Amino acid sequence: MLEHRKEKKPKKGLKELPNAVKGKVVMRFAPNPNGPPTLGSARGIILNSEYAKMYEGKFILRFDDTDPVNKRPLLEAYDWYIKDCSWLGAEPDEVVYASDRLELYYEIAEELIRKGHAYMCFCSSEEFRILKASKKACPHRDTSPKENMEWWRSALDGELSPGSAVLRIKTDITHPDPALRDFGAFRIVDVPHPRVGDKYRVWPLLDFESAVEDHMLGITHILRGKELSDSEKRQKFIYSYLGWEYPVVVHWGRIKIHEFGRLSTSSLAKAIEEGVYGGWDDPRVPSVMAFRRRGIQAEAIRRFYLSLGVDESDISVSLENLYAENRKLIDPHAKRFFMVKNPLLVEVRGAESTVANPLVHPKRTERRKIEVRAVDGVARVYVEEDEFKQLPDGRTIRLKNLYIVRKEGDCFYHVKSEFVRGELKKKKIKVIHWAPEDGLDCLLRTPEGDYRGVCEREVANHVDEVVQFERVGFARIDCVVKEGVVAYFAHK
């Protein structure tokens, strides 16, 4: 019996890439830098570079910055991408700027014109759309290569105005799929490009630029969202005209993050411009830099995307999964502190001055010191206003690591200071966190908005660390300003 079944091995990590040869794989991530990388971009960055690593290949970061108008590149964003790639552990082996390579595209365009595969079309987009819908060729489709070349040159020379003409690739105007009928390759733009200024007036469109670049860079595998799946079919026309071989393509489906909805750079840019968000690293924005600021680890994002895998089905996933990964990474090290949101200063009557000594971390032995002074038998602590108000009158609770108190009216009465192991559980005494009267003001910036609070003074000595505010959640201490501490909330 010839049994050559492929064995069923439960695979860990990414699936094999078709036709991938170790050492020969070249992959790229090709964003338009019209904003910073978002969590969505991180998927492309991580997956492409991860596969490149898996096959000991090459990972290229290519800026597809060929639209100075509608998706105008942001000059700062180029560096944002480079920085975020390396932060994500996806250091590019090479960085390519499409806006530097217009001459190359022009050469290829001219070759296609000469061979009769491209023509200058003077229809308005509206006219062309109608013709295309009825599978009719436009009147310019049969112009001779020679005449096309003349028109093309006059476009390059600036003799044609924006919108008056477009260079089209001939495909099959009767193709059953309307998406594949003669597509645009170049258009005329007279808006200066942020990087190269007004050096060029004829800019390629994605399907042309990307097609040429992928071939020139020797890309072997393309991994991208399925919204670009028709690109492959369109670009293959160019490849066949030029005798090139198209890379292997793998698509992933659309991702929707429960907490943020769809990730669109342009809509975020608009919201930032309108002042809805403070900037690209506002904690309410799903940019990589915002996640970093909140203390989300690059490794957590990487694991998150690796666990989603590559599949064409659309997914709608909760950030809980990302947070769970992050928690596993930071919890072993995050120091614990008290921070009270929406604080209410409450008197503790019958108290003496004391020092609380909570553990810095449950798995370690160091303790921190929080002084609580009492004057004439009255101490004051901050607790969460809501929590205090919801406490029934007469209820006994423990202020964590401090003492047991009983609520009466709008203040607490000291009950006892000794801590007896097991007592809280046995008597079902609730334990709440608190902050000292002389604590620091703390601004906690979260994806749901900002909170004012008070935290231990020690927090100010941990800038740039990810800490855990007990019973509140993990946060990264961003900075200390004269008003107090600014912290960015990560997650519970």
Partner RNA sequence: GCUCCGGUGGUGUAGUCCGGCCAAUCAUUUCAGCCUUUCGAGCUGAAGACCCGGGUUCAAAUCCCGGCCGGAGCACCA
CB of 315 to RNA, least distance (A): 4
Which residue, 178 or 192, has its beta carbon nearer to RNA? 178
Closest residue by Cα to residue 413 from 337, 347, 342, 323 = 347
Which residue, 69 or 75, has its beta carbon nearer to RNA? 69
Which residue, 336 or 457, has its beta carbon nearer to RNA? 336
CB of 49 to RNA, least distance (A): 18
CA angle 62, 68, 74 (to 5 degrees): 65
CB of 269 to RNA, least distance (A): 13
Which residue, 128 or 152, has its beta carbon nearer to RNA? 128
CB of 13 to RNA, least distance (A): 10
Phi-psi region of 484 (alpha: psi -120 to 50; beta: other; left: phi over 0): left
Rounded to whole angstroms, the Cα distance separating 480 from 476 reads 12
Which residue, 163 or 278, has its beta carbon nearer to RNA? 163
Rounded to whole angstroms, the Cα distance separating 68 from 33 reads 11
Which residue, 196 or 317, has its beta carbon nearer to RNA? 317
Which residue, 166 or 486, has its beta carbon nearer to RNA? 166
CB of 239 to RNA, least distance (A): 18
Contacts of range 5-12, beta carbons closer than 8 Å, 24 or more positions apart: none
CA angle 486, 286, 337 (to 5 degrees): 30
CB of 418 to RNA, least distance (A): 8
Report yes or no: 439 and 457 within 8 Å, Cβ to Cβ. Answer: yes
Which residue, 86 or 321, has its beta carbon nearer to RNA? 321
CB of 399 to RNA, least distance (A): 8
DSSP annotation of 78 reads H
Q: Where do runs of H (alpha helix) occur along 375-443?
A: 385-390, 423-427
Q: Which residue has the tokens 């399925």?
A: 226
Which residue, 21 or 133, has its beta carbon nearer to RNA? 133
Q: Which residues on neighbouring strands pair with residue 403, listed in sequence order?
A: 399
Token duo for residue 180: 């594949």
CB of 183 to RNA, least distance (A): 7
Which residue, 164 or 240, has its beta carbon nearer to RNA? 164
Q: Which residue has the tokens 């093309």?
A: 152
Dihedral, CA atoms, 143, 148, 154, 160, nearest 10 degrees? 50
Angle between helices 102-114 and 229-242 (to 10 degrees): 60
Rounded to a whole number, what is the largest CA-CA distance in the chain? 100
Sign of CA dihedral 451, 457, 462, 466: negative
CB of 340 to RNA, least distance (A): 12
Rounded to whole angstroms, the Cα distance separating 199 from 156 reads 10
Q: Which residue has the tokens 């991702």?
A: 255
CA distances from 131 to 74, 118, 165, 479 (A): 36, 17, 16, 60
CB of 400 to RNA, least distance (A): 5
Token duo for residue 237: 């026309």
CA distances from 270 to 243, 266, 267, 427 (A): 42, 6, 5, 55
Which residue, 114 or 333, has its beta carbon nearer to RNA? 333
CB of 289 to RNA, least distance (A): 19
CB atoms within 10 A of CB 486: 19
Strand-pair category, 449-455 with 440-446: antiparallel
